[in-house]
Amino acid sequence: MKTLPTLDLSRRRFVAGAVGGSFVMGLGLALPGCSSKEATEALVSPKPDAKFAPSLWYEISGTGDTHIFITKAEMGQHVGTALARIVAEELGAEWSQVRITHVDSHPKWGAMVTGGSWSVHTSFKALSQAGAAGRQLLAAAGAAHLGVPAEACTVANGRVSAGGQSVSFGTLVSLGLPGAELSAEALDALPLKAPAERTLLGRPVAALDIPEKSRGEARYGLDATLPGMVYAVPLLPPTRYGSILTRLEDGDATTIPGFLQTLRIEDPSDTIQGWGLVIAESLPAAWKAAEQVRAEWTPGPTADVDEAALLAEGARLADDPAEGVRVVDHGGIDRVLAQAPRRLTAHYRTASALHFTLEPQNALAHFDETGHCHIHGGNQWQSLILPVLSKALGLQEADITLHQYALGGGYGRRLFGDQMIPAALAARALGRPVKLVFNRDQDSRFDCVRSPSVCRFDAALGPKGEVLGIDHGVAAGWPTLSMAPGFLAPGLNDSGRYDSFSISGADHWYSLPAHRVRAINNPLAQKTFLPGWLRAVGPGWIGWGVESFMDELAHAEGVDPLAFRLARLDGAGPNGGDGPANEGGALRLKAVLETVRERSGWGRALPKGSGLGVAVAHGQERGMPTWTACVAEVAVAEGAVSVKKLWQVIDVGTVIDPDGARAQAEGAMLWGLSLALHEGTAFEKGQVRDRNLDHYTPLRMKDVPELDIHFAESTAFPSGLGEPPLIAVAPAIGNAIFAATGQRVRDLPIRLS
Amino acid sequence: MTQFILNGNPVVSASPDDTPLLWVLRDELDLKGAKFGCGIAQCGACTVHLDGVPTRACVLPVSAASGRAVTTIEGLATDAGEALKAAWVSEQVPQCGYCQSGQIMAAAALLEANPAPTEGEIVEAMNGNLCRCMAYGRIKAAIQVAAGEGEAQR
């Protein structure tokens, strides 16, 4: 159902060979008929037509330094540290000699994407095997060097040892290692360490990216410079789509020192519609000049759309049981609803929300003397924007290189690199490097907004209020439809194609007698703005509805909401899991829920106006769930909600970097709190209303409650952490407000009136 | 032309008087540590010290720095500054890291003025610095660690 960007495992091959003074090892895809010689050559000097595509690569130098190339974006998750630990664990490398490099977008790396909380999950097996393959090779060479059988050798801390003697990786590389190659079958047969044998995974480690970030030395896209570059600031149209720039004149901008010119952007990819640019020798000059140029537009067709219209359209569609692609459909819900003695219906809604990466979108573009296009900036999904740039510039993808930098916040915004397009078009038009920078207002206006959403629930209840079935319609703008339609998934019974990222979470792990989930695109949202993948994506808004409505159902039946959930997490049928990634299924969710019940003291008496609320989540997808249960304690006084404490118990499977995992959980939980109480905007006249911190108000230090975070001990296959701990926070808070006041809140952000 | 002292050394800026100091630092003098976030003095990513006082460089005209001492993260070499940078590592504070120069500059000014702040005083002093990754708990903890080290030395 889901399309994770994993390797076609049957075509994997491991290749190793000497290059210069280093020994290089790679794992990648081999095309049919690819010879060993061709694969090794491709590893050393890849060509676009090579039959071997190494997607993972590391090398060991003659000094024993192990250099691991990271294709994932660093945006705060310390991903390079986690991925390098996995390789180093199986390789037996000396951790203090491990180095990482975040690579550019050279085609040799294959598909490049950092999102979906996928990085560890989708890389774990391949990285482990690549490390183990290297260990086997070094063990064989070390054994020969020491004159002992390979079975007698141990490999650890960058040395091959046997019977009191040892040799370092560096020495073995200096002496010359033979090339090697392993098939997919041989890779699968490699012995991997049992969890108890591990010396790095799950142990404390200092993140490799933190020292430079603690001295102001990390380099972000906005910090990139090139000799001779000029600055560009956009003149943005009144709507994302369909506005026509009818007038663009320099006006009094010519009086601004440093002003160079205006430029109209014509984008053959049609991504950038109706933009002008102001070009100047400095950013302040460009901004000043932008206030003086005369720019006018014929607005696009959505110039009058507001938030209420978007939500009304979502509700209209969600209310119609005929609407939507069927994602879950069992138990004959229409019949169950028609025959039910009682029904309970509710709408849950979320308002537009912004990524608000603290580093605004920017790009530095440059064409070299061969006509190759270089773009400097931070990006999460190189493989998504390269084809768009290719179309916009009329270049082959291989003639465009994206140079990666640290990301000053990603959260899904930098999955799309739309700002690269006008920068590159301008660089070509002007014949010099162009650095394009959004100001904050523009970054918000042309964010890939988290779509306003509507969840509509219609539950059939039995005579005692017991749940007989639920129909759930979810309407929102779909990021995948606009940006990556190839990733749309087929629904049940030819009911159409849908954005799985905008419905995940509705396909939950509770056993219900009848259940239907309808994934509905909101076409008005789709044409008004570019819907984005915002941290936690669909589960971020769907979990709000599902877990709040579960509370309503528990109260309808007169059952404790935590006990109500436990009773339905029985792991029956498909809810028992169907593979290593979701092994154990709902029973693991039940276990974290039981643990959070104990840690939070669920059921204890609280003062009037205070309450506890519970929610669970299983982001990001059924195919790779991270099991979380959250309890919130809130106090409500005079309409103001104060979150006193949040508990969360997390089962992510194997934890790679314990402190990094905790940091991701801390950040994600506070994001959940921020989206619940502090953030949110609205469309007004076709654009988002709140564009800077004077009106858009993410959580600050004074708003941080006490956090109790507990990771379940597990050796199960690792899942992901960047997003899942966000999901259950808002519904736990909403349910706590109900417990404290009896008032049910159904809109995010929560506003008590 | 504006003359000021930058990280202990006299410098001259040729930018127009109303140019925000941030862009003089970043693009004219090539010190990239101070960051651009909101442009309206509300996020704190651009925080530098002006005669020791934490100041939002995104809204300060360079002319206002004339004849004064400007310190950026690159030049922060006080005992408190060094203790903070070390604590930022020991407490594993940064996530994306983009706001952290500003956070450290704000924290350094706090510890200069108040070497042993209470938790409430830390929150009061740091609340204006947005961390979009929301690493607030660790920022607070690192300031407490750095303050504790200063305390131990006294």
pLDDT of A1 reads: 34
Token output for A332: 């004959």
Return the CATH fold of A228-301+358-441: Aldehyde Oxidoreductase; domain 4 (3.30.365)
| Chain A interface includes B48 (CB < 8 A) | no
Asked if residue B146 and residue B119 are part of one domain, the reply reads yes
pLDDT of A18 reads: 80
Give me the residue label for tokens 């930058």: B6
Count the neighbouring beta carbons within 10 Å of the beta carbon of residue B146.
Answer: 28
Q: Which of B97, B123, B134 sits opposite A667 (nearest CB)?
A: B134
Return the CATH fold of A9-213: Aldehyde Oxidoreductase; domain 4 (3.30.365)
Is A56 exposed, middle or buried, given 0-12, 13-18 or 19+ CB atoms closer than 10 A? Answer: buried
pLDDT of A5 reads: 41
CB contact under 8 A, B96 and A358: yes
Q: Print the domain residue range for B137.
A: 79-153
Say if CB A504 and CB A16 are below 8 A apart. Answer: no
Token output for B76: 């922060």
Span B69-122, pLDDT tens digits: 999 999 999 999 999 999 999 999 999 999 999 999 999 999 999 999 999 999
Token output for A176: 């010359």
Asked if residue B69 and residue B112 are part of one domain, the reply reads no
CATH number at residue B147: 1.10.150.120
CB contact under 8 A, A692 and B40: yes
Span A650-681, pLDDT tens digits: 999 999 999 999 999 999 999 999 999 999 99
pLDDT of A40 reads: 62
Last residue of a domain, one of B75, B99, B114: B75
For residue B41, name the pLDDT band (cuts at 50, 70, 90): very high
Asked if residue B71 and residue B8 are part of one domain, the reply reads yes
Asked if residue B133 and residue B108 are part of one domain, the reply reads yes
Give me the interface pTM, i.e. the ipTM. Answer: 0.98
Q: What percent of chain B has pLDDT over 70?
A: 99
Asked if residue B65 and residue B47 are part of one domain, the reply reads yes
Q: Give the residue ranges of DSSP H helices in A558-687.
A: 561-568, 586-600, 658-673
**A444 to chain B: which residues are within 8 Å by CB?**
none
Count the neighbouring beta carbons within 10 Å of the beta carbon of residue A578.
Answer: 12
Q: How far is B68 from chain A (nearest CA, A)?
A: 22
**pTM tops 0.90, yes or no:** yes
pLDDT of A2 reads: 37
Count the neighbouring beta carbons within 10 Å of the beta carbon of residue A597.
Answer: 21
Q: Which of B7, B96, B144 is the best mutation test for A, with the most CBs of A within 10 A?
A: B96
- Pairwise CA distance, residues A68 & A87, whole Å: 8
Per CATH, the number for A307-353+449-748 is 3.30.365.10
For residue B149, name the pLDDT band (cuts at 50, 70, 90): confident
DSSP A111: S
CB contact under 8 A, B98 and A282: no
Asked if residue B64 and residue B27 are part of one domain, the reply reads yes
Secondary structure (3-state) at A88: helix
Q: Find residue A325's DSSP bridge partners.
A: A519
- Pairwise CA distance, residues B100 & B135, whole Å: 10
CB contact under 8 A, B134 and A216: no
Output the furthest CA–CA distance in chain A (Å, rounded).
82
Distances, alpha carbon A217 to alpha carbons A592, B34, B106, in Å? 40, 10, 17
Q: Which of B125, B33, B31 is nearest to B85 (CA)?
A: B33
Domain locations along chain A: 9-213, 228-301+358-441, 307-353+449-748
Secondary structure (3-state) at A329: strand
Gyration radius (Cα) of chain B, Å: 15
Q: Which of B30, B40, B127 sits opposite A702 (nearest CB)?
A: B127
Q: φ, ψ for residue A476 (rounded to 5)?
A: -165, 165
Q: Which of B32, B73, B127 sits opposite A700 (nearest CB)?
A: B127
> Are A228-301+358-441 and A307-353+449-748 in the same CATH fold?
yes
Q: φ, ψ for residue A36 (rounded to 5)?
A: -60, -40
> DSSP characters for B60-127?
SBGGGGTTSEEE-GGG--SHHHHHHHHHHHHTT--SS-TTHHHHHHHHHHHHHH-SS--HHHHHHHHT
Span A602-653, pLDDT tens digits: 999 999 999 999 999 999 999 999 999 999 999 999 999 999 999 999 999 9
Interface of B with A in 81-120 (CB under 8 A): 85, 88-89, 92-101, 104
Last residue of a domain, one of B38, B57, B75: B75
Asked if residue B83 and residue B17 are part of one domain, the reply reads no
- Pairwise CA distance, residues A78 & A664, whole Å: 9
pLDDT of A609 reads: 97
Asked if residue B143 and residue B106 are part of one domain, the reply reads yes
Q: What stretches in chain A show pLDDT beneath 50?
A: 1-7
Helix and strand tally (H, E) in chain A?
20, 34
Q: Give the residue ranges of DSSP H helices in B7-60.
A: 21-23
Give me the residue label for tokens 């709000």: A544
Token output for A208: 């490799």
Positions of E strands within A495-562: 497-498, 515-521
Q: How many domains does chain B have?
A: 2
**Three-class SS string for A629-657?**
EEEEEEEEECCEEEEEEEEEEEECCCCCC
Say if CB A89 and CB A123 are below 8 A apart. Answer: no
Cβ within 8 Å of residue A528, ≥6 positions away:
A239, A240, A241, A302, A305, A310, A477, A683, A686
| Chain A interface includes B54 (CB < 8 A) | no
Last residue of a domain, one of B21, B51, B75: B75
DSSP A742: S
Say if CB A504 and CB A539 are below 8 A apart. Answer: yes
Say if CB A497 and CB A488 are below 8 A apart. Answer: yes
- Pairwise CA distance, residues A470 & A209, whole Å: 47
Asked if residue B84 and residue B149 are part of one domain, the reply reads yes
Interface of A with B in 447-486 (CB under 8 A): none
For residue B59, name the pLDDT band (cuts at 50, 70, 90): very high
Helices A586-600/A561-568 angle, 10° precision:
160
Asked if residue B109 and residue B50 are part of one domain, the reply reads no
- Pairwise CA distance, residues B151 & B149, whole Å: 5
- Pairwise CA distance, residues A172 & A160, whole Å: 9
pLDDT of A295 reads: 98
Token output for A221: 């896209």
Token output for A601: 């003291």
pLDDT of A230 reads: 98
